[in-house]
């Protein structure tokens, strides 16, 4: 295995771990765990189209809506594609499923993630998009 391939594989694994932590934080309705994944200057667009700029705005919104969410916490997130724009910037397409008794809704978030000097990948510019049935 080449060093470049090994680094690439390690980055994909780290990115998948961030998405797994997003899933866990949503299942547990834990704003602190979720917010720890963001770059301080991040941009987040909610599924409803609200644009949040900076960690303070994302935090205020998340602390208000996540703990009070009326769903039962059954949600899954799956990385379906990673595109490295640069070695330290990746566009990550995610499949999100909310599972409730008798209903299922799907999201197709796009997370642009950046790698910090310490090697951590953080959510940097994200769009949470719902999938509308045909």
Q: Is the dihedral of CA 101, 130, 89, 44 positive or negative?
A: negative
| Residue 114: CB atoms within 10 Å | 18
Q: CA nearest 47: which of 68, 60, 37, 61?
A: 61
Q: Is the pTM of this model over 0.85?
A: yes
Q: Residue holding tokens 């409730």?
A: 100
Mean of the pLDDT values across residues 92-110?
Answer: 86
53-100 pLDDT tens trace: 999 999 999 999 988 877 676 889 999 999 999 999 999 999 998 877
């Amino acid at each position: 295995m080449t060093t470049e391939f090994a680094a690439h594989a390690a980055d994909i694994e780290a990115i998948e771990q961030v998405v797994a932590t997003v899933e866990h934080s949503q299942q547990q309705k834990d704003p602190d765990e979720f917010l720890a994944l963001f770059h301080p200057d991040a941009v987040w667009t909610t599924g409803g189209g609200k644009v949040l700029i900076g960690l303070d705005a994302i935090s205020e919104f998340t602390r208000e809506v996540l703990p009070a969410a009326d769903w039962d916490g059954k949600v899954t997130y799956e990385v379906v594609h990673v595109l490295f724009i640069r070695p330290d910037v990746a566009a990550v397409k995610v499949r999100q499923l909310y599972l409730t008794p008798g209903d299922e809704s799907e999201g197709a978030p796009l997370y642009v993630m950046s790698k910090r000097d310490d090697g951590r990948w953080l959510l940097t510019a994200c769009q949470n998009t719902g999938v509308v049935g045909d």
